[in-house]
């Protein structure tokens, strides 16, 4: 169980799981990511297709506690498939981490006649859904929405592909100025404790070095790599750094370290920040969101619960929420090798 969640010392054995579902709620929780709106649209329209009512839950679990609900139909999700962010808004709820908060949420859902819900978010959002399901036997289904791609049970999370395209486009622009001034750029990208964005975008943008949490390069090897680049005739370099890199220094401390040991380099830092979470979703993310939304709703209608819908080898699969939360999203070691070869 996530340490941020307090467990209730009781379990309600109601019959929610066995009764037929006539009304499904949908919410977005945690950090936003491109493709969330496309997933909301998919859930709403799949409900309509099966003659099931759909209720939008605003502001994540906090909105659930406060009963911030609105009925949604096929026309209420017009023209959002191409929009970034989330029309349902998102918020982190401290109150939902307490048994009292979850009890309020259950009462509001029951009052509104909601029989099940789909939550679009990351592992923290799934932890909340799993605990809620354990306490109230309430049908839940998760859709992975995070640019970090750090969730077990899916090769791609919603927003990851869009974020990669955003990062590559920005690094391409940075390379223009780096090569004009013979500069070394450290470019920090998001990813939390996973290096998927850094590794894939780094290869795609032709970075000379990629620093990710899964591979502790070490400061000396970094300097050695930069010296080799210089000796091989490279006049400018791009180093992509994942925000969770284990090298032990912030990206600005890295800049100072390299300048101290290699004064011939003119070093700059670019932290890409929240621009990676914005923008219109890519075609891949829109199609993925549509597929995941259909599977989530139809799985609930089949009586399934406590699963995350994900994509593995281009097939939509179900993974138990507990596994999705606790499992590790491993880095592709072949890509690490490709990165080493490409930086020669």
**What residue spans define the domains of the chain?**
23-158+281-326, 160-277
| Rounded CA separation 114/110 (Å) | 6
Give me the CATH code for the 23-158+281-326 domain, please: 3.40.50.450
Query: What average pLDDT score do residues 190-200 get?
Result: 90
| Superfamily name and number for 160-277 | Phosphofructokinase domain (3.40.50.460)
**Residue 340 appears among annotated catalytic residues:** no
Q: What is the pLDDT of residues 157-173, one digit of tens each?
A: 999 999 999 999 999 99
Tell me the whole-structure pTM to 2 decimals: 0.91
Query: By three-state DSSP, how is residue 319 classified?
Result: strand
Strand pairing class (69-72; 53-57) = antiparallel
Query: CA dist 153 to 123, 206, 236, 327, Å?
Result: 11, 29, 39, 8
Helix/strand/coil (H, E, C) string of 70-106?
Answer: EEECHHHHCCCCCCCCCCCCCCCCCHHHCHHHHHHHH
The pLDDT-based confidence of 233 (bands split at 50, 70, 90) is confident
Question: Which residues share a beta bridge with 70?
Answer: 56
Q: What is the pLDDT of residues 256-270, one digit of tens each?
A: 999 999 888 889 999
Asked if 291 and 316 touch (Cβ cutoff 8 Å), the reply is yes
| Among 81, 68, 141, 51, CA closest to 109 | 68
Q: Can you give the pLDDT at residue 306? A: 97
Residue burial 96-122, b: 16+ Cβ < 10 Å; e: rest: bbeeebbbbbbebbeebebbbbbbbbb
Are domains 23-158+281-326 and 160-277 of this chain identical in fold? Answer: yes
The residue from 148, 150, 245, 285 that is catalytic is 148
Question: Residue 109 pLDDT > 80, yes or no?
Answer: yes
Question: Residue 141 pLDDT > 70, yes or no?
Answer: yes
Query: What average pLDDT score do residues 269-296 get?
Result: 97
| Among 214, 292, 304, 269, CA closest to 33 | 292
| Rounded CA separation 48/54 (Å) | 8
């Amino acid at each position: 169980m996530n340490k941020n969640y307090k467990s209730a010392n009781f379990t309600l054995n109601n019959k929610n799981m066995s009764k037929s579902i006539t009304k499904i709620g949908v919410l977005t929780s945690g950090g936003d990511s491109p493709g969330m709106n496309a997933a909301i649209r998919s859930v709403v329209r799949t409900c309509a297709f099966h003659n099931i009512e759909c209720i939008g839950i605003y502001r994540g679990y906090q909105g659930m506690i406060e009963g911030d609900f609105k009925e949604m139909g096929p026309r209420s999700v017009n023209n959002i498939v191409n929009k970034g962010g989330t029309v349902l808004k998102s918020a982190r709820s401290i109150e939902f981490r307490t048994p009292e908060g979850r009890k309020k949420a259950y009462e509001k859902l029951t009052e509104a006649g909601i029989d099940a819900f789909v939550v679009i978010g990351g592992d923290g959002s799934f932890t909340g859904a799993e605990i809620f399901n354990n306490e109230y036997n309430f049908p839940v289904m998760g859709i992975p929405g995070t640019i970090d791609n750090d969730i077990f049970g899916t090769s791609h999370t919603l927003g990851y592909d869009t974020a990669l395209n955003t990062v590559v486009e920005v690094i391409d622009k940075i390379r223009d100025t780096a090569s004009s001034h013979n500069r070394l750029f450290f470019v920090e990208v998001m990813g939390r404790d996973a290096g998927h964005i850094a590794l894939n975008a780094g290869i795609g943008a032709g970075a000379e070095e990629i620093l990710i949490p899964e591979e502790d390069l070490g400061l000396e090897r970094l300097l050695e790599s930069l010296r080799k680049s210089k000796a091989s005739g490279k006049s400018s370099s791009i180093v992509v750094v994942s925000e969770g890199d284990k090298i032990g220094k912030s990206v600005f401390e890295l800049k100072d370290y390299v300048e101290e040991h290699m004064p011939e380099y003119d070093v700059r830092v670019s932290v890409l920040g929240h621009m990676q979470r914005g923008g219109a979703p890519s075609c891949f993310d829109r199609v993925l969101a549509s597929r995941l939304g259909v599977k989530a709703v139809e799985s609930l209608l089949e009586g399934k619960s406590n699963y995350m819908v994900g994509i593995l080898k281009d097939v939509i699969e179900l993974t138990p929420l507990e596994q999705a939360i606790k499992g590790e999203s491993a880095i592709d070691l072949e890509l690490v090798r490709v990165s080493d070869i490409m930086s020669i």
